[in-house]
Amino acid sequence: MLSPVSSPNGPAILVEGLFKSYGAIRALDGIDLRVPAGSVLGLLGPNGAGKTTAVRVLTTLLLPDAGKVLVAGHDVVKEPGRVRSVIGLAGQFAAVDEILTGRENLVLVGRLYHLEKDDASRRAAEILERFDLVAAADRRVGTYSGGMRRRLDLGASLVGRPEVLFLDEPTSGLDPRSRIGLWEIIAELVAAGTTLLLTTQYLEEADRLADTIAVIDNGRVIAQGSPDHLKSRVGGEVVDVTVTPAAHARAAVTALSAIASGEAHVDPQAGRVSVPVSAGGSVVADAVRLLDAAGIGIADLSLRRPTLDDVFLTLTGHAAEAPPEARVDGALTGGPD
Amino acid sequence: MGGTAVADAMLLTRRNLLHYLRVPSLIVFSTVTPVMFVVLFGYVFGGAIDIPGFSYIDFLMPGIFVQTVAFGAMQTGIGLAEDMSKGMVDRLRSLPMARSAVLVGRTMADTIRNFLVVGLMAGVGLLIGFRFHNGLVAALAGLGLVVLFAMSFAWISATIGLSLGSVESAQSSGLVWVFPLTFASSIFVPVATMPGWLQAFARVNPVTHVVDALRALFLGGPAATEVWWSLGWIAGILAVFVPLSVSRFRRL
């Protein structure tokens, strides 16, 4: 393997002024990122935000229009071959061959990393062991469950012992149990010192795995910081109230201002109010008391952890689920994102 | 780098051949369909069409060889489109392997398949009454020409498959280019029986040249002109569609 030309302390990923357009649509509109070696960056954003486009540029699958992108010190445009020899990529689709067995898939990838036959077999066996796929190793992947395919896909991305790993929505479409299983595996990798760039639509996932989260929307990084830092901008928790009649929604916001830690979101038609609050023991009781004192009827009330929607509402003023016109843009910016 | 490119292409050739061996629908498409073409066309049209100087089966078989591999070429684009839609192409492009290997591995696997298809068809043809009248060397030269022709069509199909990127469109697009080329040719009937405007197309059609070259090689008669025309077409198609596929692949 080629050794990186970067200094040992240089960032594993450096992105400056990255632009990529598809026709009139700006998929990436000036992205800057810096990921220190051994750390985890979570790229968080809704569908169509540009996450997959960014990963495709960083993994040499797509040429940028402008900007500088270095991965492990290598320029993705000028030295794509060097970049490919030090990265691993697992995309959204579990890109493994269904007709081959799990072992054959891993050996094929190993051989394409130019490992000798024996080394490729040994590496495949190690990965099958590590990802709990030994029993299914010699079955065709077509017979695997969704969770097993994702594990194999992730395993395939590790065959070349990458310095920098890219995981594009590694758990989307998985059931909660498989998702948690995959998180545990990813957390182990990270603990072993692999630099990771992870894209996700789930705040919880970024929260659990990332050292730094970059929130991306319409091709721009709109906020960057530690998970705690971002959540503190939203508030500790969120109280959702549905009031009756719906017309009392605005009055409810006023009533709850005493416990609010941030700006409330109101859906006047549905009579629904979401109020960020500081985490604490009695917020539910406080909310009920305050609404009752103001004479506002409660159809439903619940307390929950902030979601990506809340982060987006706070940061952008619009929900993570993009408005219709933006969603059309998103759909055109390079497919599923 | 040269040795690496060959090794990478061989790895993917093997992978693609495993698909042909393991997927029932691909086995059927590769073996049953060609046999069916030989038997059906041989018996259905065999008695109905009278070609002076030959038995119709002898006239028809060279055409069936060409038609079968032309339709089989669609599989190249379909396979690439399938790998694209399942994310396999992205994975391969992110590996430190030769960029040419995905395309070369695909077209090589299809060429090896075509050797088997052509051999199988020759066997079945001989069983139902087809004969090579011009000696073994000419017969083998003709079968080699069919495989070369198939390879050139595989690269057209690769360009189309990479451009469309979905299995369904790759499948239906095949009908748009393969159908006219095979039917407006000398495969089934002599070109002279067609209306004038269609003759003009049929006479320049590469399929006609390859079929006419095969007839000369299998049945006897002057073959050189048609063989050169065929080789020229094959070289021309490769010269256009290999670079086109490669540039499409680079810019996916």
- What does A51-105 look like in DSSP terms, one character per residue? HHHHHHHHTTSS--SEEEEEETTEETTT-HHHHHHHEEEE-TT----SSSBHHHH
Peptide bond into B52 cis (omega under 30): no
Which of the listed residues A210, A231, A252 is the one where a domain comes to its end? A231
By a Cβ cutoff of 8 Å, what residues of chain A touch chain B?
A: 56, 59-61, 63, 81, 84-85, 87, 89, 91-100, 104, 108-109, 111-114, 140, 156, 160
Q: Which of A182-191, B83-92, B98-107 has the lowest mean pLDDT?
A: A182-191
Taking 70 as the threshold, does the pLDDT of residue A319 lie above it?
Answer: no
Question: Tens of pLDDT along A146-173?
Answer: 889 989 999 999 999 999 999 999 888 7
Task: Decide: B11 and B101 in contact? Cβ < 8 Å.
Answer: yes
Taking 80 as the threshold, does the pLDDT of residue B42 lie above it?
Answer: no
CATH code where residue A186 lies: 3.40.50.300
Domain ranges of chain B: 2-250
Do A217 and A245 lie in one domain? The reply is no
C-alpha span between A306 and A295 (Å, rounded): 27
Residue A167 forms part of a structural domain: yes
Distance from chain centroid for Cα A153: 17
Residue with the larger pLDDT of the pair A234 and A86: A86
Distance from CA of B160 to the nearest CA of A (A): 20
Nearest beta carbon to residue B86 from set A85, A87, A93: A93
Domain region containing A197? 11-231
Do A149 and A269 lie in one domain? The reply is no
Q: Pick the closest to residue B45 from B71, B67, B16 (CA basis).
A: B67
Query: In B, which residues are within 8 Å of A172 by CB distance?
Result: none
Instruction: Identify the bridge partners of residue A22 per DSSP, sorted by sequence position.
Output: A25
Contact check, Cβ <8 Å, A89/B94: yes
Taking 90 as the threshold, does the pLDDT of residue A2 lie above it?
Answer: no
Mean predicted confidence (pLDDT) in B27-35: 81
Which of the listed residues A171, A206, A231 is the one where a domain comes to its end? A231
Q: What is the pLDDT, as a whole number, of residue A232?
A: 72
Q: What is the pLDDT, as a whole number, of residue B230?
A: 97
Confidence bin at A85 (pLDDT 50/70/90): very high
Residue of chain B whose alpha carbon sits nearest to that of A162: B95
- Fill in the DSSP letter of residue A139: S
Do A271 and A208 lie in one domain? The reply is no
Which of the listed residues A231, A262, A285 is the one where a domain comes to its end? A231
From residue B102, alpha-carbon distances to A14, B3, B140 in Å are 30, 15, 30
- Fill in the DSSP letter of residue B32: I
Contact check, Cβ <8 Å, B94/A94: no
A30 Rama sector, left if φ>0, alpha if ψ -120 to 50, beta otherwise: left
Q: Which two tokens stand for residue A244?
A: 């009756």
Residue of chain B whose alpha carbon sits nearest to that of A85: B96
C-alpha span between B219 and A67 (Å, rounded): 64
DSSP code per residue over A222-267: EEEE-HHHHHHHH-SEEEEEEEESGGGHHHHHHHHTTTBSS--EEE
How many structural domains are present in chain A?
Answer: 2
Query: How many CB atoms are closer than 10 A to CB B66?
Result: 29
Taking 80 as the threshold, does the pLDDT of residue A320 lie above it?
Answer: no
- Fill in the DSSP letter of residue A34: E
Contact check, Cβ <8 Å, B95/A94: no
Question: Tens of pLDDT along B242-251?
Answer: 999 999 998 8
Confidence bin at A177 (pLDDT 50/70/90): confident
Confidence bin at A83 (pLDDT 50/70/90): very high
From residue A311, alpha-carbon distances to A215, A238, B25 in Å are 9, 11, 49
Do A251 and A136 lie in one domain? The reply is no
Distance from CA of B19 to the nearest CA of A (A): 6
Do A195 and A75 lie in one domain? The reply is yes
Size of interface A-B (CB pairs under 8 A): 66
Residue A321 forms part of a structural domain: no
C-alpha span between B135 and B120 (Å, rounded): 19
Question: Tens of pLDDT along A246-305?
Answer: 888 989 999 998 888 878 888 888 889 988 888 777 888 899 999 999 999 999 998 887
Do A205 and A277 lie in one domain? The reply is no
Contact check, Cβ <8 Å, B96/A160: yes
Query: In A, which residues are within 8 Å of B86 by CB distance?
Result: 93, 95, 98
Do A196 and A246 lie in one domain? The reply is no
Do A65 and A214 lie in one domain? The reply is yes
Q: Pick the closest to residue A60 from A130, A106, A13, A10 (CA basis).
A: A13
Q: What is the pLDDT, as a whole number, of residue A4?
A: 44
Do A81 and A217 lie in one domain? The reply is yes
Confidence bin at B45 (pLDDT 50/70/90): confident
CATH code where residue A279 lies: 3.30.70.920
Contact check, Cβ <8 Å, B95/A84: yes
Question: Tens of pLDDT along B152-191?
Answer: 999 999 999 999 989 999 989 888 899 999 999 998 888 9
Test the A interface: residue of B90, B166, B251 with most A CBs within 10 Å: B90
Which residues lie closer than 8 Å to B115 by C-beta, 6 or more apart? B147
Do A111 and A33 lie in one domain? The reply is yes
Query: In A, which residues are within 8 Å of B93 by CB distance?
Result: 60-61
Do A205 and A241 lie in one domain? The reply is no
Query: In A, which residues are within 8 Å of B13 by CB distance?
Result: none
- Edge to edge, the sheet with strand A237-244 lists A265-267, A272-277, A237-244, A297-304
Query: How many CB atoms are closer than 10 A to CB B2?
Result: 7
What is the helix (H) or strand (E) element at residue A218, kind and residue range? none
Residue-averaged pLDDT of chain B: 90
Asked if B91 reaches chain A (Cβ–Cβ under 8 Å), the answer is yes
Residue-averaged pLDDT of chain A: 85
Q: What is the pLDDT, as a whole number, of residue B48?
A: 66
Do A20 and A100 lie in one domain? The reply is yes
Query: In B, which residues are within 8 Å of A97 by CB distance?
Result: 15, 88
Q: Which of A17-31, A301-315, B25-39 has the lowest mean pLDDT?
A: A301-315
